[in-house]
Structure 1
Amino acid sequence: MRADSRALVPLALAQFICSFAGSNMNVMISDISHDLNTTVAGVQLSITLFLLVMAALMIPGGKLTDKFGRKRLFQLGLIVYGVGALACAVAPGLGVLVLGNSILEGVGTALLIPPVYILATLYFTDLTSRARAFGMISAMAGVGAAAGPLIGGLITSAISWRAAFVFQALVIVVIVVLGRRLTDPLPAQPDREFDVRGTVLSAVGLILIVSGILLASKKAWLMLLMIAAGIVVLWFFFRHVRTTEAAGKEPLLSMRLFGSRVANLGMVTQNLQWLVLMGTSFVVAAFLQVVRGYNAIQTGLIFTAATVGILGTSLLAERLAKRWPQRTLIETGFFVTVVGVCALLLIVAWSTGGALALLPGLFIIGVGIGLMITPSVNIVQSAFGEKLQGEISGLSRSVSNLGSSLGTAVAGTVIVAGITRTPERSYALAMLVLAIAALGGLLIAERLPKAQPSGGPAADGTTADGGADATQTEVLEIDEQQNGKRLEG
């Protein structure tokens, strides 16, 4: 299959629906709470667990692509996701909603997203076409997250919140049909070992940390205990990885993935981008519905501003990549995002205007996220050769989804804790947390190198200088290796 739009459409559409699922429930808070006899905290739990399951299982999902093949895992993920969406559509209570949305859709997403980025990397082998592919996929990720409230609000208001999950299932059917023509450039390796112990340790560690954050407003001692337990479990995970590698076996996650300084910084920026985007989505949606009494469609329409901002700048990714270094784009994106979050904070906290006062801030945040989402993905994904694509794709997506779950957990917990007693104060505190996160992203982005290093990738997929740096220049060098050519000059 040629690396053209026919290959890109199902991949981008899959990323869209998974991102859509992470944010569309934000506008259904009041409807779901009333229909299922639960609370805002209950809906927040379902949303956060969905994002957390993705984060916890994305690394194993990336690893399984090597064992079972990228296309096969992509198809399996679609099926699991579709079943989960249908379960949500008929959920009689919060328990079934959590099972369908948080568990099944979360597992399905963890299985299908790593193949999306791996196949895009393998299909599009030159810098320009790869930037275009990542630009489209990243744009659909951002648009899915930003348009989730709008589309979800339209469906909820016109029909029911349950119909929004039927919509997801229908999109999955379309992707299955479009994805039949996809081919797997690399053969599956069914005899390849899979690190079960590493999978359990990494998943448990992440779940404990995020679950602890969710308990922040209830029992501080239990929150600290769970976070500490999560850190200890993750320490055992990395110890297991080192021991496994030292024994000559294949762990869940190779420590070589952390050898590239640029890739490490890129993953941190990815984490903070999604933390800010998803945190803003939940906080603003909760504030409008619970405090201002807006319905699903009114809330969703407000988020159109962010959707327009993300879509506009993401679709310019290829053109921007030709004119500006990736560091510049990421720095600019975080700076613009800080301005947008501050605008939301100041306008809502000190203005008596209605929800329309939120539009400029949401639009600015969308522009900022759209500017940096593609270069961050490209930096990380292009830092390694094809041998490590399964692992780096899973790690990269896990880091991004962990950011999404942390954004909903941290900022969501801050606003939910006092939304009925001191709503304006709780909203301001939640937005302040997100502003600090965006500012931290700007500081991290400034540590990315200005110049492109000359060291090329080694045969194992790391960089020639011991895995220190990988940039746009190295993408071309990786491509030369994949084609079996000698590097010249």
Structure 2
Amino acid sequence: MHDESERARADAATLNAAAGRTWALVAVAVALFCIQVDFFALNLAIPGISEELGVTPSAAQWTLSAYMLAVGCFFIVGGRLGDVFGRRRVLLIGITLFAAGSVGCALAPGLVWLVATRIVQGVGAGFVFPVSVAVISNVFPKETRARALGAAFGVANIGTALGPFVGGGFTQGPGWRWIFWLLAPLSALSLVIAVIHVSDSRDVSVPRRLDLIGCFTIVCCLAAVTLAVERGSAWGWDHARTLTLLGIAVVTGGLFVLREQRARHPLIDLKLFRNIPFVLVTGMGSVANMGYGVTVFVATLYLQGVRGLSPLMAGVVFLAPALVVALTGPLGARLATWMRPTVVMVLAGVIAGTGMTALSLVNAWWLYVPVFAWCGLGLGLGWTFSSVATQQVVAPARAGEASGVLLTFLVTLGAIALAGAAATITAMTPERPPEAVYDVILRVGGVVILAASAVVMAVRQWLVAHDKVAASV
């Protein structure tokens, strides 16, 4: 009888632990869903914001620039805060900031208030994203970790799919403020579930101390480069403000590296960059995310400027590739069970590169939409699976740090790619029709991603052949 009661208690404990992991996954997935909807919805709402607040579209663009600035600056800080002080605490703070920022955006009486609350949202998102990955990596055992991460990013990518549709629909319908009224209660729901079900974890090998000098220098560096890239087209790339910001980025970036080499407990352990599989995955994921941002940007201009579609109808066309992107989270997790992480990344690059190239060659609707979806499959798999793959090649104790570094590269290089695409369009459109310029950008992007895939595969094969890394990576 005693053995049976012990067995019953053990079974109950196992069930409770499994239920707790499931609810933690739900909390994280809902938070990531809100962040993705927010990011991809507001792009189509800029004209509505400009009209309602009585500002120019260029001024309204600050609602995107300020958010990107905050997000890009706080990925690394947020990830390391979670590792050092506890991932649960930082996750709750991040979700709270994002929810409060959403309410502030919905109530904003003018552009200044809207931009300020977008910064609050961005800081919250900068905390949530890397810590979410670290929470799942530490809650789930190694055998199910990739599947759990895939499920979380699958739900998040549903937000990617719905974002343009929500943004276009609300902008044409009840108004852009309803984007934020949708996000506020969903974020609150995620917060409640996280409070109840997310258990705490941290890197116990380090003291609860943060490298404040490292935080200051990396935030200054990322803020300067992000602002220069985001506003460079409007100010001019040779303008004093742009050049000054780029100079600040170089100086503070150099100071950050010097600090991290000497700090007793650095914000980023620079030895991370000696982990060749991590570098390969991060590089390939960054290239895929650059391609994703450029493709979405070019397709938006093409659908509305060349095809003459409304924001709502453009959002409908985006549903096909975006829904495919939503499937890449679970797909990547499934592929990870029988393919090596770097091989999955290379496969994603091949699909993405061929998709971008093919998209530049088709015009008929019956072919454009499925090719757009194929392109979304490769690009989405590339940047989504990179978050899963990095967790497979680093220790769980430093999961937040690795995720923060990866996300910083994804967002910063993605912004640079968008700025380059915008500058190319501006420079080439007087001599060529817009659709011809869009095709050139897509073809160049396709070639770059295919070349990156070849390089990653070649480097991996060389490392395995010379016993530098295990064949399992």
TM-score range, shorter chain: 0.7 to 0.9
- 2:51 aligned residue (34, 41, 58): 34
**CA distance, structure 2, for counterparts of residue 171 and residue 413 of structure 1:** 37
1:240 lines up with 2:259 in the alignment = yes
Cα RMSD, aligned residues only: 3.1
Amino acid at match of 1:157: Q
Matches within 5 A, 1:9-28: 9-28=26-45
Q: Match for residue 8 of structure 2?
A: none
**CA distance, structure 1, for counterparts of residue 46 and residue 98 of structure 2:** 21
Percent identity among equivalent residues?
25
Instruction: Please identify, of 110-119 and 191-200, the stretch whose mean Cα deviation from structure 2 is larger.
Output: 191-200
Amino acid at match of 2:388: N
Matches within 5 A, 1:410-429: 410-415=420-425, 423-429=434-440
**CA distance, structure 2, for counterparts of residue 169 and residue 4 of structure 1:** 24
Q: Post-superposition shift, 1:340? A: 2.0
Q: Post-superposition shift, 1:446? A: 2.0
Instruction: Please identify, of 443-452 and 322-331, the stretch whose mean Cα deviation from structure 2 is larger.
Output: 443-452
**CA distance, structure 2, for counterparts of residue 289 and residue 89 of structure 1:** 26
Q: Deviations over 1:6-44 (max 9, x none)?
A: 221111222222122221112223222322333444444
Distance 1:451 1:319, change over 3 A: farther
- 1:53 aligned residue (67, 70, 82): 70
- 2:390 aligned residue (372, 380, 404): 380
1:150 lines up with 2:165 in the alignment = yes
Q: Match for residue 487 of structure 1?
A: none
**CA distance, structure 2, for counterparts of residue 230 and residue 311 of structure 1:** 35
Q: Match for residue 216 of structure 2?
A: 200
Q: Deviations over 1:198-225 (max 9, x none)?
A: 1121122122223333314642323455
Q: Post-superposition shift, 1:266? A: 1.0
Q: Match for residue 460 of structure 1?
A: none
Q: Post-superposition shift, 1:173? A: 1.3
Aligned length, in residue pairs? 451
Distance 1:61 1:138, change over 3 A: same
1:282 lines up with 2:301 in the alignment = no
Q: Post-superposition shift, 1:418? A: 7.5
- 1:177 aligned residue (162, 174, 192): 192
Q: Post-superposition shift, 1:343? A: 2.9
Q: Match for residue 114 of structure 2?
A: 97
Contact 2:167 2:179 in 1 (8 A): yes
Contact 2:91 2:132 in 1 (8 A): yes
- 1:364 aligned residue (361, 374, 377): 374
Q: Post-superposition shift, 1:70? A: 0.9
Q: Match for residue 419 of structure 2?
A: 409
**CA distance, structure 2, for counterparts of residue 191 and residue 420 of structure 1:** 58
Q: Match for residue 13 of structure 2?
A: none
Contact 2:161 2:326 in 1 (8 A): no
Amino acid at match of 2:300: A
Matches within 5 A, 1:320-399: 320-347=335-362, 351=363, 358-399=368-409
Q: Match for residue 5 of structure 2?
A: none
Task: Show structure 1 runs of 5+ residues with no match.
Answer: 456-464, 474-489
**CA distance, structure 2, for counterparts of residue 283 and residue 276 of structure 1:** 10
Contact 2:324 2:376 in 1 (8 A): yes
Amino acid at match of 2:343: T
Greater share of residues in helix: 2
Amino acid at match of 1:243: R
Q: Match for residue 3 of structure 2?
A: none
Instruction: Provide the TM-score with structure 2 as the length reference.
Output: 0.85
Matches within 5 A, 1:112-127: 112-127=128-143
**CA distance, structure 2, for counterparts of residue 405 and residue 147 of structure 1:** 22
Q: Post-superposition shift, 1:192? A: 1.9
Instruction: Provide the TM-score with structure 1 as the length reference.
Output: 0.82
**CA distance, structure 1, for counterparts of residue 414 and residue 154 of structure 2:** 16
Q: Match for residue 250 of structure 2?
A: 231
Q: Match for residue 24 of structure 2?
A: 7
Contact 2:278 2:394 in 1 (8 A): no
Contact 2:84 2:202 in 1 (8 A): no
- Structure 2 counterpart SS, 1:316: helix
